[in-house]
Structure 1
């Protein structure tokens, strides 16, 4: 499953540099699928939606750091554990029960964003 940042976040930004998918954004920041990925132009997401990878999307939170679920792979294919959770000083990077994915789905998402 993807990781989410709870409202316990102290906005320290320790997690941002650790994310290999650039899935973590500052509060009130627009985001795009193409940020630090190989995606560009019109793409089909792993769940079948067509999106403009270069489009700026509305911030998910204006109060604390947030993780874009579609870009989070729990660091599968990069690390043994989610790096955001391992560096978070307040343990606010937790599994997102609303976005449960198998290891195969997470690895497929990694390939989708970065190639093989």
Structure 2
């Protein structure tokens, strides 16, 4: 299993606009081999930096499936307007990828 996350520092007052971008995006993740889940997480506010932390979180069967997504036409289409949203951010998104070493779930 592989988890891919992007951290976004969203400028104070831009949170609703940022969330709207994600709600209204044309996502084709469900069509991709190995895709399991997606979540957009809203984290704490950082008063000193004047921003709110958000994380996009996807779960994949494995790293290769995630990499295939990043090289796909679906990925390019999903991110084609990303540059227009830069005024909402403080800095660039930060990517983090993790392979599962050990896990447990409630069944």
Bigger share in strand: 2
Bigger share in helix: 2
Q: With structure 2 as the length reference, what TM-score do the two structures score?
A: 0.36
Larger of the two Rg values belongs to structure: 2
